[in-house]
Amino acid sequence: MKILLTGASGMVGRNVTESPRSRDYELLTPSHKELDLTDKAAVVAYLEKTRPDMVIHAAGTVGGIAANSQRPLKFLTENLDMGRNIIGGAYLAGVKKFLNLGSSCMYPRNHDTPLTEDMILTGELEPTNEGYALAKIACARMCSYITRENSAFRYKTLIPCNIYGRWDKFTGDRAHMIPAVIRRLSQAVDDGKDTIAIWGDGTARREFMYAGDLADCIWLAVERFDELPELMNVGLGVDYSVDEYYAAIAKAVGFNGNFTHDLTKPAGMKRKLTDVTRMNQFGWRPQMSLADGIRLTVDFYREHFAAKPSEKIGIGWAFISDNGKRRVQEILDSNRLSQGAMVYRFEKEFARLHEQKYGIALNSGTSALHVALEAMKEKFNWCPKSKVLVPAVTFIASSNACLHAGLEPVFVDVDAKTYNIDPAQIESKIDADTVAIMPVHLFGQPCEMDAIVDIAKRHGLQIIEDCAEAHFAKYKGKTVGSFGAAAGFSTYVAHTITTGVGGLVTTNDRELMEISRSLLAHGRACTCEKCVASDPRVVCPLRTKTEMDKRFMFVRLGYSYRIGEFEGVIGLDQLENKDFIMGTREANAAYLTANLQDAQEFLQLPWHPDYATHSFMMYPIVVKKNAPFTRRELTQRLERNNIETRPMMPLLNQPLYKKLFGDLEKDYPVAEWINHCGFYVGCHHGLRRAQLNKIIDCIHGFLKENQCK
């Protein structure tokens, strides 16, 4: 029998295809790229072409409470469109058997008694997922109506309770309770936390079934389809309290701490339990115990998601989720490698998350700064050799970008605590040729933007932020990159959000966006959305309006700075996992700082004011002047222990800069100190507690030996 399974890459779909019973059937599992279920014509054409004997409809747009309540229109329309197209399309194509997957959200809210199949549409739905529930109800009804009107067609619906298990989502707002708690308690173990607060009083009851069990039920339903009721719950028939789930997960991950209850937080519905009488009559029961199901899910999390301790304690780490890897494969399959829709989506999402209208992706952070400076030069009519104020401690790319754009970098010493440009020293460097300030948010620490914006305003200067190291960092609640005319980000490896190589310009200024887009693509005339998104189905109407095709008309001396779709999908995956990436980095840095307090006599640890967040691209340390050892001695010890270190962005003493600008270092005392005494180690999201402890122990051991000298 040939079966079309929709949503094969989702959690249910994965469990269905992973089941050994799937081998008894010829399974069609088109990816989203191969079959867009929201496109009716594509669905009908696919069914006509493949002619399956049966359809299992497991695809859906799913999400947790936050996503569902923020975007009910999306959950309603996408699920409705997909359902209508596949159910209606299958009917048109003469597919006689259809197994539709519903959800227990379809039931009225707040029922103490178990939910029986005839209770659908007898009461008010849970408002937080109403859009999703309405779509699921409509699809289930559509199936019943088809069977009622034409008995040769048997279109049936299973209504599973909540599920958990392999292929669950463990991060972001798509994570449901069990995977979210698995991650939370696993991290608590890693971080040595001994108390965890549970939302509400812990007595709310939930019914969660292991996804492998649901897959087993689906396959039995396929085998004995004729006997399957038209509508059937698939549940445990028993539920557990939230406290019981926490206890089971704590046991599986080895969390031995205590739980408290945060009664100020919402606990959700008191109870939601499906009635399993029909299911039992059909002759199926779930097999997996809660303890075993949780254990297997924890194994899956550890294998696929939790960072694997690498031998070397490096500076950076690229986490790409399984979903991201699948998307990379889809790009390979699509044969569209150059810049297109994925890059465009990445740009839009990146800009949105950084509170800017436009994001322009290109091949490096240096290119981003270069292009942004050239765009500003054009828009603001800067003369060649105009001056840009740059911190005296930064990666060489910041000031190189000025040189590439035909501008002159003028260095300003940095603050000894934050290592960022010192606002108190900016004004003395401004002269008639100065056009802009480039604050660099070094290591992820925002610069003192109030003071910098004030100086820029008073002197009529532009601001271009170098945010290469500071994705998502905030200064007084505002994201870095949103203070000036434009900003440059890097997504090179070891940066917080990485695409391998890459960078982005962000701006709110349409003109700067258009010039930047043009510059990165050889100076192209057309920078409209249609050309940029490169959707093969849409031809830009401007192209045929002029004698010369506007897409291949060049109006300024540009560069070839583009990236491709691989970077686009990897970038999107990184953004989806940003909470995990940022949260872990912040926690790792806090752990290092807490455990190195006693080293502060000789080592300066990172510090940031309460009104700013730090995105900790790495963990900077500067050896204090009173230390009885040198930076070199300490970093050599760390390196010998397989802990990678790097010097802290020496700039003015670089051979090239000495040649270009002379011996500047002596005029910049803080930079000089940092150049000779600063270094950094990693605190990235792939490091676990054991590795952080190794860094801490190594530093402690070194200090002990050296203080005894």
Ligand X SMILES: Cc1ncc(COP(=O)(O)O)c(C=O)c1O
Shortest distance in whole angstroms from residue 480 CB to ligand X? 12
Site mask for ligand X (CB under 6 A), range 396-415, x = bound: -xx-----------------
By the rule CB under 6 A, 468 interacts with ligand X: yes
Alpha-carbon radius of gyration of the chain: 29
Shortest distance in whole angstroms from residue 395 CB to ligand X? 4
Closest CA to 9 of 23, 26, 30, 24: 30
Concatenate the DSSP letters of all residues of 103-142 into one string: -GGGSPS--SSPBPGGGTTSSPPPGGGHHHHHHHHHHHHH
The tokens describing 593, both together, are 């700082």
Give the CA angle between residues 143, 149, 151 to the nearest 5°. 85
Helix, strand or coil, per DSSP, at residue 241: strand
Instruction: Out of 98, 208, 395, 702, name the contact with ligand X by CB under 6 A.
Output: 395
By the rule CB under 6 A, 418 interacts with ligand X: no
Residue 132 annotated among the catalytic residues of the structure: yes
Shortest distance in whole angstroms from residue 446 CB to ligand X? 13
The gap from C-alpha 201 to its chain's centroid, in whole angstroms, comes to 31
By the rule CB under 6 A, 394 interacts with ligand X: yes
By the rule CB under 6 A, 466 interacts with ligand X: yes
Give the CA angle between residues 88, 94, 98 to the nearest 5°. 60
By the rule CB under 6 A, 490 interacts with ligand X: yes
Choose one: 22-30, 392-400, 449-457, 541-549; the region binding ligand X (CB under 6 A).
392-400
**β-sheet bridge partners, residue 421:** 414
Residue closer to ligand X (CB basis): 28 or 440:
440
Written in H, E and C, the secondary structure of 525-593 is CCCCHHHHHCCCCCCCHHHHCCCCCHHHCECCCCCECCCEHHHHHHHHHHHHCHHHHHHHHHHHHHHHH
Residue closer to ligand X (CB basis): 129 or 574:
574
Residue closer to ligand X (CB basis): 398 or 518:
398
Residue closer to ligand X (CB basis): 366 or 482:
366
Q: What are the angstrom distances between the C-alpha of 232 and each of 88, 100, 120?
A: 21, 11, 12
Residue closer to ligand X (CB basis): 469 or 672:
469
By the rule CB under 6 A, 469 interacts with ligand X: yes
Site mask for ligand X (CB under 6 A), range 291-330, x = bound: ----------------------------------------
Residue 206 in contact with residue 177, Cβ under 8 Å?
A: yes
Helix, strand or coil, per DSSP, at residue 295: helix
By the rule CB under 6 A, 567 interacts with ligand X: no
Q: What is the β-pairing status of strands 97-101 and 54-57? A: parallel
Choose one: 32-40, 363-371, 444-452, 659-667; the region binding ligand X (CB under 6 A).
363-371
| Active-site entry in 132, 164, 210, 344 | 132
Shortest distance in whole angstroms from residue 664 CB to ligand X? 19
Shortest distance in whole angstroms from residue 157 CB to ligand X? 51
Distant-in-sequence, close-in-space partners of 266: CB < 8 Å, separation ≥ 6: 199, 200
Instruction: Give the number of other Cβ atoms within 10 Å of residue 259's Cβ.
Output: 15
- Distance in angstroms (rounded) separating the CA atoms of residues 91 and 335: 33
Shortest distance in whole angstroms from residue 12 CB to ligand X? 40
Helix, strand or coil, per DSSP, at residue 137: helix
Shortest distance in whole angstroms from residue 413 CB to ligand X? 17
Shortest distance in whole angstroms from residue 600 CB to ligand X? 26
Residue 165 half-sphere exposure, CB side, CA atoms within 13 Å?
23
Shortest distance in whole angstroms from residue 56 CB to ligand X? 45
Choose one: 4-12, 173-181, 466-474, 690-698; the region binding ligand X (CB under 6 A).
466-474
Measured in degrees and rounded to the nearest 5, phi and psi for residue 434 equal -75, 130
- Distance in angstroms (rounded) separating the CA atoms of residues 465 and 486: 7
Touching ligand X, residues 185-214 (CB under 6 A):
none
Residue closer to ligand X (CB basis): 85 or 363:
363
By the rule CB under 6 A, 364 interacts with ligand X: yes
Angle in degrees, 0-180, between the axes of helices 72-92 and 40-50, rounded to the nearest 10: 30
Residue closer to ligand X (CB basis): 169 or 441:
441
Site mask for ligand X (CB under 6 A), range 425-464, x = bound: ---------------x------------------------
By the rule CB under 6 A, 570 interacts with ligand X: no
By the rule CB under 6 A, 421 interacts with ligand X: no
Residue closer to ligand X (CB basis): 117 or 469:
469
Shortest distance in whole angstroms from residue 30 CB to ligand X? 37
Residue closer to ligand X (CB basis): 366 or 434:
366
Shortest distance in whole angstroms from residue 489 CB to ligand X? 8
By the rule CB under 6 A, 366 interacts with ligand X: yes
Distant-in-sequence, close-in-space partners of 513: CB < 8 Å, separation ≥ 6: 357, 358, 360, 505, 507, 527
Alpha-carbon torsion 195, 200, 201, 204, what sign?
Answer: negative
Instruction: Out of 492, 580, 619, 702, name the contact with ligand X by CB under 6 A.
Output: 492
By the rule CB under 6 A, 365 interacts with ligand X: yes
Closest CA to 294 of 379, 237, 209: 209
Residue 705 in contact with residue 628, Cβ under 8 Å?
A: no
Choose one: 223-231, 310-318, 390-398, 567-575; the region binding ligand X (CB under 6 A).
390-398
The residue at minimum Cβ distance from ligand X is 365
Q: How many residues bind ligand X (CB under 6 A)?
A: 14
The gap from C-alpha 503 to its chain's centroid, in whole angstroms, comes to 16
- Distance in angstroms (rounded) separating the CA atoms of residues 361 and 339: 9
Provide the strand spans (E) within 287-399: 358-362, 387-391
By the rule CB under 6 A, 78 interacts with ligand X: no
Residue closer to ligand X (CB basis): 85 or 491:
491
By the rule CB under 6 A, 125 interacts with ligand X: no
Residue closer to ligand X (CB basis): 132 or 616:
616
**β-sheet bridge partners, residue 260:** 197
By the rule CB under 6 A, 615 interacts with ligand X: no
Measured in degrees and rounded to the nearest 5, phi and psi for residue 232 equal -145, 130
Chain positions contacting ligand X, by CB under 6 A: 364-366, 394-395, 397-398, 440, 466, 468-469, 490, 492, 503
User: Which residues have a catalytic role annotated?
Assistant: 132
